[in-house]
Amino acid sequence: MINLHIKSIFAVVFGLFLASAVQAQDKVEVDYESYSGFTCDPVPKLPAKEVHPSLWFTADQAAAMRVKKDQDEQAAGLWKQVSESQFLIMDLMPEPTINDDKKVVHQYYGYMAQAAKYSGFMIWMTEDETEKQKFIDRTVALLERAYDGPVYELDPKEKSGPTDEIYLGTWIQNYAAAYDWVQPFLTQEQDKAIRARLVKQCDYLSKNIYRWTSRPHNHLSKPAWGLGSCALALSDERDAINWLGVALNAANENTKYFFSADGIYREGSHYLGFSWTNFLPFMINYKNVSGVNQFEDFKPVMEWGVAVRNSNGWLPNIEDSFIRPFPGHMAAAMYKDTQTFLHSSAPLSEILMWAWNTTDMKPFEAYTERTTYNWTGATWDYTLPLDEYLTYDPTIKPTMPDSSPTVFLEGGQSMFRNTWKTSAPEGRYLLFQGVAEADNHEHYEHLSFIISAEAQMMASDGGYTRKSYGEKMRTQWYKQAVAHNVVTLNGEAPVDPAQNVTPVSRHRINTDFFDFEEKEAPYASGGKLRRAIAFAGESYFVVADIVSAPKGGEATAILHGGRGTMEGDENYRVWNYEADTYGPAARLHVWTFGSADDFKIEDAEGELTYLKGDFAVFPYTKASGNGTEQVILQVLVPSAQGKGGPEVSSVKQGNQILVTVKDGDITDTYLLQPSPAPAEFDTLKSDATFAWVREEGGKVSKFAVREATNLKTNRTVLMESAEAKTEAKAR
């Protein structure tokens, strides 16, 4: 064999040359290099000798894999899905032609590759020699037909083609696993024939991966991770080190641009899950075969999947995304000795297992029953139950995070919540979105927010689209600012300060009685939005907007209340939610106040979608006014079904607003103004741009200020300072 070090250097040089050549040819204006993402070691490493099986487990580990099914109920359930899979008994499908319907061609390659992987796995799961031989023969038959048909006649660059490179990446991972499991039982002739097919596909991928897509989104990374897995399975091949080098470099192009350093996936939850189906198998394969642990690099991604989950455990439907579960349990075994900011002592493995075990799966189960598709977006290609069984570790106990449930990420997402408990009626959650945009699946949603509470989705994002990426409705409605809880200026949503630059986050407060953060983003035509979220008593939310427009203009705060009916008038609206697959019956009470003389609130209707195909029209509001400097304040109070909201009132002086929220013996008072200036109302005086004062039983108990040197209420001095401060205190 060629010396490993020499092979590694050659592969890196080859990969860098190929990437540079493509980028120079395209002359794209998008900057794919300056974002804060991460990369893994690009130097490919292969073992000294090819060994089978080794991608998922070794021959010595097969016995443990067999007995796993008896260790707990979850493993038994997964085993039932695997052992009863249609892919173990389905007839081998007839070879398609280039003239067949696209779905026929796609399903052929996807199903045949899945059948090969399932059958290869079962070789090691049975000790009965007759059964074993049956699965050996079936796996051989499937591998000897790998890539038959028109696969090399169809160009993956064809829009919505049946051999898209994202499919190719998954098919080759499935075939690589099947080959890894059956290889010890092959005759020399069988081995040579099957390897020739896999080698041809690896060559095909490595030579075309940048031709098919030079942009570093999932159409580049998914086939890269698939190519990497097959290179590991064929590590004795002369070109294996080159294939792996191309795969590593192409994958790094994705992770350094579409992931933030703290794990946020900029294309949205749907495409994170879609990518997961390829990067998780590859990382496991690479660790098992070559001892390279990329899980250390992906740790922030795993933590983000827990930090961003809503009150029901779902990843949000922001950007081009439907709601999604986060399958962290499939990576948990790789983090048994890994500490995390999510817990003071428990390893990340236990947090990931808890997150999965407490996820409300009802919407996804209902979706599967209705459509026969799973939640991954890759049902025809991806072996979900099998991969879950392969990765599940029954010895990992679930542990709930004990860190603050309110999490601020430098990548631009902030999660305000009062508990880590899942599907709890008392749970409150708000996601504040301010992530630097990428160039692919972005929506006009800067500084938007979504809410879930009472175990129900409430203030909601419009979502991905009705059914598919190519729909006109996606670009004409779903990605537009009006489909999101944003503040527009003359119809425009806020934008990034500069390419790959995250909107500013400041004034963060995180206590057990009050949380706060402000984000700032400019408008392309001039002006800026300062939007702050306040979590008062960690029971309800206040959204405080300051809109600056040098030339004046109309500022509009859009609020989608989600899948509910809406009633109310003047400054008050209430959304009523019926019990459905997304949660129990509940309510969201909202009061909106603005400083503009012509401030008004209009009712409107628009679509939203949580899961593919489950779209409908629901009411929303548009609160707007004109001026050069305006403030808008929204009070959002979730409640149980049939429960009324607090008493809310407001007074204003020019562009200064004072809002009072009274609920029983608790009275909260809020001040909002665009810049530090003396504000004097009957009950409160301050120069803060934002202030909150809580009275309990007639006495001040807590307060918070932003950019204040003084705060007084009812002749009581709460704070005085020579310099402006942002703080929260309990008295």
pLDDT digits (tens, 9 = 90+) for 290-334: 999 999 999 999 999 999 999 999 999 999 999 999 999 999 999
pLDDT digits (tens, 9 = 90+) for 59-78: 999 999 999 999 999 999 99
State residue 449's pLDDT score: 98
State residue 172's pLDDT score: 98
Rg, Å, the chain Cα set = 28
Inform me whether the pLDDT recorded for 274 exceeds 60.
yes
State residue 17's pLDDT score: 31
CB 35 within 8 A of CB 257: yes
pTM for the model? 0.94
Distance CA(537)–CA(74), nearest Å, equals: 38
| Residues in the chain, total | 731
Distance CA(134)–CA(89), nearest Å, equals: 11
Q: How confident is the model at residue 461 (pLDDT cuts 50, 70, 90)?
A: very high
Out of 154-163, 592-601, 702-711, pick the least confident.
154-163
- Which of 110, 106, 118, 129 is closest to 178 using CA atoms? 118
pLDDT digits (tens, 9 = 90+) for 133-192: 999 999 999 999 999 999 999 999 887 799 999 999 999 999 999 999 999 999 999 999
Could you tell me how far CA 486 lies from the centroid of its own chain?
A: 20
Domains by residue range for the chain, with CATH: 407-645 (2.70.98.70), 648-731 (no CATH)
pLDDT digits (tens, 9 = 90+) for 489-528: 999 999 999 999 999 999 999 999 999 999 999 999 999 9
- Within 8 A by CB and 6+ apart from 441, the residues are 217, 267, 268, 271, 319, 320, 321
Inform me whether the pLDDT recorded for 364 exceeds 80.
yes
Inform me whether the pLDDT recorded for 127 exceeds 90.
yes
Beta strands in 371-476 (DSSP E): 407-408, 413-417, 428-433, 448-453, 456-457
Inform me whether the pLDDT recorded for 474 exceeds 80.
yes
More confident residue, 531 or 4: 531
Distance CA(717)–CA(685), nearest Å, equals: 9
CB 659 within 8 A of CB 645: no
Strand (E) or helix (H) holding 648:
strand 647-653
- Which of 519, 546, 636, 530 is closest to 589 using CA atoms? 636
Inform me whether the pLDDT recorded for 268 exceeds 50.
yes
Inform me whether the pLDDT recorded for 20 exceeds 60.
no
State residue 19's pLDDT score: 34
Q: How confident is the model at residue 96 (pLDDT cuts 50, 70, 90)?
A: very high
